[in-house]
């Protein structure tokens, strides 16, 4: 086949001093951009999952800092830095698990620290945020090529949640690998979990694959064991919101169970994430903060109650897959097979962002 991997979706753009985000809560029924000129509103958009996926969250937050600078453009020389710092706080508090958020905000703070005036801060932060967006897309293409090369032709792949263009600046992490592998004719079928409770697989992964002309089959999470036992699937390919220094990886709830199933059935398990997702300050997965979300997300579906009145819900947004269950971590700086602390430390020492 060897056709170019389709890539038509861009969920984040900055134009005329405003941030535009594709509202992922409305997909696939409606494709609508929301426009923001207030950093507090960007923080709310991240928290409310207008934009989601660790790389996309970081990029959106970076543009939120740009907006914060623009809003205090007329402040006095003594007032603008405290005002921008105050505006960054709600951005940092919006989603606690995605380390890309804090990585991006740290980069933006460093840029601001180097600016002697608010005018220069407005210009420099915009350039930095745009560079992050462009670098993310380029990194995703590198990861796509690296991961696809590991897939032996002739079998299907299974993915979880949404790790494509919608979760990044464009092209995707795990879904970028799948796009590349499909374009190279390495993959016979693509399966995607529904991914309760927000149905990112059903609503988002299916939408963007079909929009780019790539066929996909959905399954409920409970069907994954039977699918893997069938022998049709060669790899489970997922993303990550934070990876500890020892290779433990936090990702959308349900990923850990898939890793156990993959190991039980002799199926490869691949995690795809940029190096910025690795938090070298955290030694192991037990230290990763796990976001707990509203019970209503589990007790209802699409805003409609479905559970028996009076039922409670336990709703962690993420779980942690031990490094021992991961066959390879693919990053924009190379792949680490059988990841451990030493293997990831090699990535840390490599030059580049």
In sequence order, what are the residues at sequence separation of 6 or more whose Cβ sits closer than 8 angstroms to the Cβ of residue 261? 224, 225, 228, 236, 267
Q: Provide, rounded to the nearest whole percent, the portion of the chain with pLDDT above 70.
A: 98
| C-beta of residue 173 within 8 angstroms of C-beta of residue 272 | yes
pTM, two decimals, is: 0.90
How far are the Cα atoms of 34, 66, 146, 298, 343 from residue 247, in angstroms, in the given order? 36, 33, 18, 29, 9
pLDDT in tens, 260-305: 999 999 999 999 999 999 999 999 999 999 999 999 999 998 788 9
Question: Which residues in the chain are classed under CATH 1.20.120.420?
Answer: 12-140
User: What are the Cα distances from residue 159, in Å, to 38, 95, 136, 336?
Assistant: 35, 23, 21, 19
**Mean pLDDT along residues 304-316:** 96
pLDDT in tens, 137-176: 999 999 999 999 999 999 999 999 999 999 999 999 999 9
Query: How confident is the model over 198-249, as pLDDT tens digits?
Result: 999 999 999 999 999 999 999 999 999 999 999 999 999 999 999 999 999 9
Return the pLDDT at 7. Answer: 80
For the chain, residues classed under CATH 3.40.50.10470 are 142-349
Check pLDDT > 50 for residue 1: no
Catalytic one of 241, 279, 327, 332 = 241
Question: Helix, strand, or coil here: 237?
Answer: strand
Calculate what percentage of the chain has a pLDDT beyond 90: 92
Give residue 2's pLDDT: 61
- What CATH class is the domain 142-349? alpha beta
Residue range 12-140, CATH number: 1.20.120.420
Is 241 in the active site?
Answer: yes
| DSSP category for residue 43 | H
pLDDT digits (tens, 9 = 90+) for 44-60: 999 999 999 889 999 99
Residues contacting 13, CB < 8 A, separation 6+: 19, 20
C-alpha span between 232 and 157 (Å, rounded): 8
- The predicted pLDDT at position 322 comes to 98
**Cα separation, 186 vs 172, whole angstroms:** 18
Task: Place 106 in a pLDDT band, splitting at 50, 70 and 90.
Answer: very high
Mean pLDDT over each residue of the chain, to the nearest integer: 95
| pLDDT of amino acid 330 | 98
pLDDT mean over 180-204: 96
């Amino acid at each position: 086949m060897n056709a170019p991997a389709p890539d038509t979706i861009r969920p984040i753009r900055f134009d005329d001093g405003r941030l535009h985000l594709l509202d992922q809560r409305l997909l696939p029924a409606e494709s609508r951009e929301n426009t923001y000129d207030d950093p507090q509103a960007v923080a709310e958009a991240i928290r409310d999952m207008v934009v989601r996926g660790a790389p996309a969250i970081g990029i959106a937050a970076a543009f939120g800092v740009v907006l914060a600078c623009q809003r205090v453009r007329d402040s006095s020389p003594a007032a603008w830095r405290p005002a921008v710092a105050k505006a960054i706080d709600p951005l940092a508090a919006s989603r606690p698990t995605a380390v890309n958020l804090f990585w991006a905000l740290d980069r933006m703070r460093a840029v601001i620290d180097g600016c002697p005036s608010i005018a220069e801060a407005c210009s420099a932060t915009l350039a930095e945020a745009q560079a992050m967006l462009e670098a993310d897309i380029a990194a995703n293409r590198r990861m796509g090529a690296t991961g696809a090369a590991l897939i032996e032709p002739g079998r299907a792949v299974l993915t979880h949640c949404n790790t494509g263009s919608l979760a990044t600046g464009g092209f995707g992490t795990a879904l970028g690998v799948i796009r590349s592998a499909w374009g190279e004719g390495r993959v016979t079928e693509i399966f995607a979990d529904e991914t309760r409770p927000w149905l990112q697989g059903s609503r988002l992964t299916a939408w963007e694959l079909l929009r780019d002309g790539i066929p996909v089959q959905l399954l409920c999470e409970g069907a994954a064991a039977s699918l893997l036992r069938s022998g049709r699937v060669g790899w489970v390919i997922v993303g990550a919101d934070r990876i500890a220094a020892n290779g433990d990886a936090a990702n959308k709830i349900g990923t850990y169970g898939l890793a156990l199933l993959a190991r039980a059935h002799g199926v490869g398990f691949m995690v795809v994430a940029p190096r910025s997702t690795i938090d070298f300050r955290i030694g192991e997965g037990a230290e990763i903060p796990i976001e707990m979300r509203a019970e209503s997300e589990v007790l209802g579906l699409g805003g409609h109650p479905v559970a028996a009145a009076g039922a409670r819900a336990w709703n962690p947004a993420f779980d942690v897959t031990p490094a021992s269950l991961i066959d390879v971590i693919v990053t924009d700086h190379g792949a680490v097979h059988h990841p451990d602390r030493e293997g990831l430390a090699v990535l840390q020492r490599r030059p580049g962002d």
